[in-house]
Structure 1
Amino acid sequence: MRLVFAGTPAAAIPTLRTLALSHEIAAVVTRPDAPLGRKRVLTPSPVAQAAAELGLPIIKAARLDDEATGRIAALRPELGVIVAYGGLVREPLLSTPEHGWINLHFSLLPQWRGAAPVQRALIAGDAELGVSVFQLVAAMDAGDVFASRVVPLAADATADLALEVLAQDGAALTADVVAEIAAGTAVAVPQEGDVSLAPKLAIEDGLLDWTLPLEAVFARFRGATPEPGAHTTVGELRVKVLDAVPAAAAEPLAPGEIASTPRALLIGTATTPLEVRRVQPAGKAPMSATDWWRGFRGDDTIRAGA
């Protein structure tokens, strides 16, 4: 098929590469270059870089306005495929391709419609995560679903690692749906079940509440890592938790109580402690949790903020 592909972050690249093997990509639509790093150097999006490597035409657009719509319409695509582009597709662009647009979404729809489905699912402690390919409509992530797939993940996978796995499985699922649309055999069914929403996370969504059971604390750590960053406060100091695991066979600690051993830093929850391995205190570089604690503490244990 003759496709237009829209996407921006690295999670969209596996789908782009997979589709480029079997279909004509008339253009790749992505967000404009963004300033990155301390020097704020304008840098192409991950999808723009991948498209350039593949030798594909690129349309950079902050939003899919009349100009972008006209450029895409002139390509006469048969189908649009979108994966985490970062902007809305509205009419008349929604109906411009012969078969409309399909969207790869990183959840089992109708669960977790919105910008942060993987993060919200992990924080909620969902037993299963997955991917869905659906027909794009004007309402957010509400179109009929062509296919969904549960994707096995490691029990300790953080949001970034989970998204890498989901992106690979989602690429294969999207390729299957595109092939079915090309063959005229694709069938989409209305979404069924309870709808849940997944708005983008704010900094406060990464705050760890040590008064909750370990499972809930660890779930929030997984969902908020690496962005916006799981964190706690120790006294007046904000400390980002970069790496942590449930403590095996550790003695219970009071919620928020910190205990240090030569090999581990433990923080108490409402049940069993969390072992914190790497941290980043505000204004400092990442370091091992035990090294940070040896330089910080004046006593063996203190209370960590919520």
Structure 2
Amino acid sequence: MRLAFMGTPEFAVPSLAELIASGHEIVAVYSQPPRPKGRGQKLTPSPVHAFAEAMGLPVFTPESMKSQDAIDTFASLDLDAACVVAYGQILKPAVLEAPRLGCFNLHGSLLPRWRGAAPIQRAIMAGDRQTGVQIMRMSEGLDEGDILLSEILPIQRDDTAASLSERMSTVGATLWTRALAAIERGGVTETPQVGEPTYARKITPAEARIDWTRPAAEIDAHIRGLSPFPGAWFEAPGPDGPVRVKALLSCLSSEGSGAPGELLGGDLLIACGEGAVCLLRVQREGKAQQSPADFLNGFALPVGTILG
């Protein structure tokens, strides 16, 4: 089939690789424009952009797919279909209707649960026990299209957003070959979404701060759901004032109790509103990730310290 691929983050790369390997003709790859990154703020292409260029594919990076120029260029590609994975832009009806067979999206949840921008993070943060990947026909509404294929995945007790995202991107990529074959021969069953939708709103910096008054299970899910980005954080008292520390991995503890935020042990065992959590990986501002032992070797925190 003659395809366009539209995607931006690392999550989308396995899907593009699968489509290339399956022999489809990828006539265009769309990705978000290069953004400033790192200390030097050098313009850096997205993971999809970089991979597509390495594979010798033409890459388009319009600032907005709503512009008439972008719409006209897309329509001129004479596509059979477009495959979309975390592209990061809203597509107008003129774009959705341009390919002969339509536009299709790989979404990281079991719709209609977690429509929107951050389904993987929200599923972990909510304590969900399972999630999935689905290929859906795109419509003008937010993740409201009919479902073509689904694969259910369990959420493991120690999953972070990073580990779950990696598994989902790999499994999701394998759905494309079956979906496109069924679409091309007209043998696909498109199932409307059923149930009350929930929305995976974009993660805001303000909500990343850990509220130690919450139950330990909620804090543990909060930490894992925001790891590695943007990273759940707390403040620890330093010699020159509060220091922001990210908590990147945690587990529940059956031992210890105290005031919310109280350091109960030298292994970063911290009391919560109910129960306690152990922090397993942390990161100070401007520093690399560290184990609790390495962190405490360079940042003295006596037992009984209240973390903010």
For 1:215, the equivalent position in structure 2 comes to 217
Structure 1 residues 260 and 70: CA distance shift in structure 2, 3 A: same
Q: Unaligned stretches of 5+ in structure 1? A: none
1:260 pairs, out of 265, 276, 280, with 265
Give the counterpart of 1:180 among 179, 182, 199: 182
What amino acid is aligned across from residue 57 of structure 1 in structure 2? P
Cα deviation, residue 295, structure 1:
4.7
Q: Is the 8 A contact 2:260 2:271 kept in 1?
A: yes
What is the rounded CA distance, in whole Å, between the counterparts of 1:54 and 1:291 in structure 2?
41
Corresponding residue to 2:282 among 279, 284, 293: 279
Secondary structure, aligned partner of 1:271: coil
Native 8 Å contact 2:224 2:249 kept in 1: no
Tell me which residue corresponds to 1:233.
Answer: 235
CA distance in 1, matches of 2:68, 2:201: 27
SS in 1 for 2:115: coil
Match of 1:191 in 2: 193
CA distance in 2, matches of 1:298, 1:81: 51
Report the CA distance between 1:298 and its aligned residue.
6.2
Percent identical among aligned pairs is: 38
SS at match of 2:246: strand
The answer to whether the 8 A contact 1:226-1:242 is kept is: yes
Aligned mates of 2:112, 2:212 — CA distance in 1: 31
1:11 partner amino acid: F
CA distance in 1, matches of 2:219, 2:249: 13
Distance (whole Å) between structure 1 residues aligned to residue 263 and residue 288 of structure 2: 21
Give the Å deviation of 1:92: 1.2
How far apart, CA to CA, are the structure 1 residues paired with 2:245 and 2:285? Answer: 6
Tell me the residue number matched to 1:201.
Answer: 203
Give the TM-score normalised by structure 2: 0.92
Contact 1:252/1:273 (CA < 8 Å) preserved in 2? yes
Q: Could you tell me which amino acid in structure 2 is paired with residue 237 of structure 1?
A: V
Counterpart CA distance in 2 for 1:299 and 1:221 is 23
Q: Number of residues paired by the alignment?
A: 302
8 Å Cα contact 1:205/1:228 also seen in 2:
no
Task: Provide the C-alpha distance between the structure 1 equivalents of 2:235 and 2:34, rounded to a whole number of angstroms.
Answer: 35
Query: Relative to structure 2, which stretch is displaced further, 283-292 or 181-190?
Result: 283-292
| 1:4-23 matched pairs, under 5 angstroms | 4-22=4-22, 23=24
In structure 1, what is the equivalent of residue 150 of structure 2?
A: 148
1:90-101 matches, within 5 Å, as 90-101=92-103
The RMSD of aligned alpha carbons is: 1.7
